[in-house]
Chain A
Amino acid sequence: MRNAFIKAVYEQAGKDNRVYMLNADIGVFVFDDFKRDFPKRYINLGVAEANMIGVAAGLVLSGKVPFVYTIAPFVTMRCLEQIRVDVCLQNLNVKIVGVGAGLAYGVLGPTHHAIEDIAIMRALPNITVISPGDPWEAYEATKASVRHEGPVYIRLAKSGEPSLVEHRHNAFQIGKGVTLREGKDATLIATGCMVKNALCVAQKLFCEGINLRVINMHTIKPIDHDIILESARDTGAIFTMEEHSVIGGLGSAVAEVLAEESTEKVQFLRIGFKDTFCEVVGSREYLLAKHGLDVPSVSKMVANSLRGSPVQ
């Protein structure tokens, strides 16, 4: 996803001289093309995220469209108050891009995990929160964020994510969830890298006679109300799946819509980190399994829930 983002931002910079790239000392060679072709518009602020956000706000006040980029927890939480006041309060056109969503930096430990960032960003007025599901979507989201007037947070995994061929025929549109697989027994709504896992869960449960609908909710804010309510009506059961805490993320956003707007009786379960940090390090796959978020665990959880058995 990182390379797809960098390709998109490079192309956008070529078309639109308002586009700037601000970085807080990560990605040694990945910006070489940008630096070579747009040297004045590449600004490395060093290890100083708060200053980076303020500088970006100043650039917007002079008509620029800056992307600010570093590891997800640092670009959201270290400089949260700058994002709140300088960017969101003033509704400025800053594009905040965090790499290392969820457990992409699993072995680097909990300082480098991002499992609260959606919740925190989503609470801020004026901002749009996007969590792409694969490199293609990261590329499209980056392009769309330039066209979108206002603050955007894009949450990227890192590298090596599989492409989701299922959604290629859909144009990317901020705020519009995408149905990747039709199903009638329940709906699995996922975001980010969990979209791939959700498709695997659906495939696995299909073999067990459970037919799941799968929705890629790439935009967490504004959340797509229609697709949630339609799925609640059609399937009667909704499961959310995210590489994020169950507090405040996709699951909460979907729950808010269901609780306030759904007229159906809907079975509902949030699947994500249960208000905890990771206590050991490990690869993303290892840590997901340890926290019951791998494909076999989620499949079991969904199946048990639908059968009325205890979930865990």
Chain B
Amino acid sequence: MTLHLDKKPLEQDLTVVDLKKLAYRMRRQIIDMAVSAGGGHIAPALSAVEILISLYFRVLRINPEDPQWPERDRFILSKGHGCCALYAVLAERGFLHRDALKTFCQDGHAMGGHPEYGKIPGVETSTGSLGHGLSIAIGISLAAKNDGNTCRSFVLLGDGECNEGSVWEAAMSASQFQLDNLVAIVDYNKLLATGFIKDVMALEPFAMKWKSFGWEVREVNGHDINEVSRTLNEVPFAEKRPSVVIAHTVKGKGVSYMENNPVWHYRLPNKEELLQAYKELNEGLQSLT
């Protein structure tokens, strides 16, 4: 099917309560997408919801009516397996029609379990294999500097992704090239597919690693939309240096039995578990009204 632009107006005036409600809706959409597709990564998408809402509703200079606008900020989901959250926020922001979400992982459709460039409006580059997005963003940022384009590149990395050596090749070059138009965000949910990252391949001292690679580092609660937005709107944190935000998050956030439990990296809920998830999300939503 063709993916149409949603013609609704920009939602710049949403309050933080509106955005918190949106977070509950998006979590429900993420779960529904994966369940109806019979596959997909739920928990790694749930940890990134508030980060994506902050970016798409408070930070990125974008125009859903013109996804190829040359001056737009670029967002790259380097942890491509979190794509349900990206598709959901693109639909909420008007890049996609909400009905397009129903095509997720369906036979013959473009919206797969990892996002692909050229097939989905708002997806800036194909990702899925980890450790690629930061380098691509560096290329975009270098071109922008040379062209006098004021756009910025934002890249969301997984914490497990930071085990990849290519992330650190990229990190080294971003500071060498003084890319203060580049922002990395790490969804630090502390879990890999097979266990806790500290037990499998530890990242700590994580902030120190980025700092020693020449980045200016901030740490935030990745589920606090105000804190994430405020911090991202302060970039660059230092002139001529790339910025990184380490967002402390909870994998599977919003569904109690998924939270901090490694088995939910790519597992799907059964009927009973699904109802439990709906119930918890509904209760959360109700508590805001």
Question: B143 contacts A63, CB within 8 Å?
Answer: yes
Question: B136 contacts A55, CB within 8 Å?
Answer: yes
Partner of A57, one of B125, B147, B166: B125
Question: A54 contacts B142, CB within 8 Å?
Answer: no
What mask results when residues 38 to 65 of chain A are scored 1 for a CB within 8 Å of chain B, else 0? 0011010110101111111111111110
Partner of A46, one of B125, B136, B172: B172
With A and B bound together, what is the CA distance between A86 and B128 in angstroms?
Answer: 10
- Closest residue to A50 on the B side, CB-wise? B166
Number of interchain pairs (Cβ within 8 Å): 94
| Chain B positions within 8 Å of A52 at CB level | 135
- Closest residue to B147 on the A side, CB-wise? A62
Q: Determine whether B126 belongs to the interface, using a CB cutoff of 8 Å to chain A.
A: yes
| Chain A positions within 8 Å of B146 at CB level | 40-41
| Chain B positions within 8 Å of A304 at CB level | none
Taking the nearest CB of chain A, how far is it from the CB of B81, in angstroms?
14
Question: B170 contacts A51, CB within 8 Å?
Answer: yes
| Chain B positions within 8 Å of A66 at CB level | 139
Q: Determine whether A283 belongs to the interface, using a CB cutoff of 8 Å to chain B.
A: no
What mask results when residues 154 to 186 of chain B are scored 1 for a CB within 8 Å of chain A, else 0? 000000000001100110110011000000000
| Chain A positions within 8 Å of B42 at CB level | none
Taking the nearest CB of chain B, how far is it from the CB of A32, in angstroms?
20
Taking the nearest CB of chain B, how far is it from the CB of A149, in angstroms?
14
Q: Determine whether B37 belongs to the interface, using a CB cutoff of 8 Å to chain A.
A: no
Most chain A CB neighbours (cut-off 10 Å) among B142, B172, B177? B142
Asked if A57 meets B172 with Cβ closer than 8 Å, knowing A40-B146, A62-B147, the reply is no
Question: B169 contacts A89, CB within 8 Å?
Answer: no
Question: B126 contacts A45, CB within 8 Å?
Answer: no
Question: A58 contacts B169, CB within 8 Å?
Answer: no
Question: A90 contacts B135, CB within 8 Å?
Answer: no
- Closest residue to B149 on the A side, CB-wise? A62
| Chain B positions within 8 Å of A55 at CB level | 135-136, 138-139, 142, 170, 173
- Closest residue to B131 on the A side, CB-wise? A50
Q: Interface on chain B toward A: helix, strand, loop, or mixed SS?
A: helix
Q: Determine whether A81 belongs to the interface, using a CB cutoff of 8 Å to chain B.
A: yes
Q: Determine whether B67 belongs to the interface, using a CB cutoff of 8 Å to chain A.
A: no
What's the tally of chain B residues with a CB closer than 8 Å to chain A?
A: 32
| Chain A positions within 8 Å of B118 at CB level | 90
With A and B bound together, what is the CA distance between A82 and B125 in angstroms?
Answer: 13
Question: A89 contacts B173, CB within 8 Å?
Answer: no
Question: B129 contacts A62, CB within 8 Å?
Answer: no
Taking the nearest CB of chain B, how far is it from the CB of A157, in angstroms?
28
Asked if A59 meets B126 with Cβ closer than 8 Å, knowing A50-B166, A51-B166, the reply is no
With A and B bound together, what is the CA distance between A50 and B138 in angstroms?
Answer: 13
Taking the nearest CB of chain B, how far is it from the CB of A307, in angstroms?
52
Question: B126 contacts A89, CB within 8 Å?
Answer: yes
What mask results when residues 121 to 143 of chain B are scored 1 for a CB within 8 Å of chain A, else 0? 00011101101101111111111
- Closest residue to B139 on the A side, CB-wise? A58
Question: A58 contacts B132, CB within 8 Å?
Answer: no
Taking the nearest CB of chain A, how far is it from the CB of B177, in angstroms?
8
Most chain B CB neighbours (cut-off 10 Å) among A40, A50, A64, A81? A50
Q: Determine whether B257 belongs to the interface, using a CB cutoff of 8 Å to chain A.
A: no
With A and B bound together, what is the CA distance between A40 and B143 in angstroms?
Answer: 9
- Closest residue to B146 on the A side, CB-wise? A40
Most chain A CB neighbours (cut-off 10 Å) among B128, B131, B136? B136
Q: Determine whether B197 belongs to the interface, using a CB cutoff of 8 Å to chain A.
A: no
| Chain A positions within 8 Å of B206 at CB level | none
What mask results when residues 78 to 93 of chain A are scored 1 for a CB within 8 Å of chain B, else 0? 0001100110011000
| Chain A positions within 8 Å of B134 at CB level | 54
- Closest residue to B170 on the A side, CB-wise? A51
Partner of B142, one of A46, A58, A81: A58
With A and B bound together, what is the CA distance between A45 and B128 in angstroms?
Answer: 24
- Closest residue to A55 on the B side, CB-wise? B139
Partner of A62, one of B116, B128, B144, B173: B144
- Closest residue to A85 on the B side, CB-wise? B129
With A and B bound together, what is the CA distance between A81 and B135 in angstroms?
Answer: 13
Question: B172 contacts A54, CB within 8 Å?
Answer: no
With A and B bound together, what is the CA distance between A46 and B129 in angstroms?
Answer: 23
Partner of B135, one of A54, A63, A64: A54
With A and B bound together, what is the CA distance between A30 and B193 in angstroms?
Answer: 46
Question: A62 contacts B143, CB within 8 Å?
Answer: yes
Asked if A59 meets B139 with Cβ closer than 8 Å, knowing A41-B146, A46-B173, A90-B117, the reply is yes
Question: B144 contacts A90, CB within 8 Å?
Answer: no
Asked if A48 meets B169 with Cβ closer than 8 Å, knowing A57-B139, A59-B143, A90-B117, the reply is yes
Question: B169 contacts A85, CB within 8 Å?
Answer: no
Most chain A CB neighbours (cut-off 10 Å) among B138, B140, B143, B166? B143
A-B contact pairs, 10 of them (CB 8 A): A48-B172, A50-B131, A51-B138, A55-B135, A55-B138, A55-B142, A56-B139, A59-B139, A61-B124, A85-B126
Further 13 A-B residue pairs, CB within 8 A, beyond A54-B134, A58-B141, A61-B140: A46-B172, A50-B166, A51-B170, A52-B135, A57-B136, A57-B139, A58-B125, A58-B135, A58-B137, A58-B138, A58-B143, A82-B135, A90-B118
Sorted nearest first, the 6 A-B pairs with minimum C-beta distance are: A58-B139, A54-B135, A62-B143, A51-B169, A48-B169, A58-B136
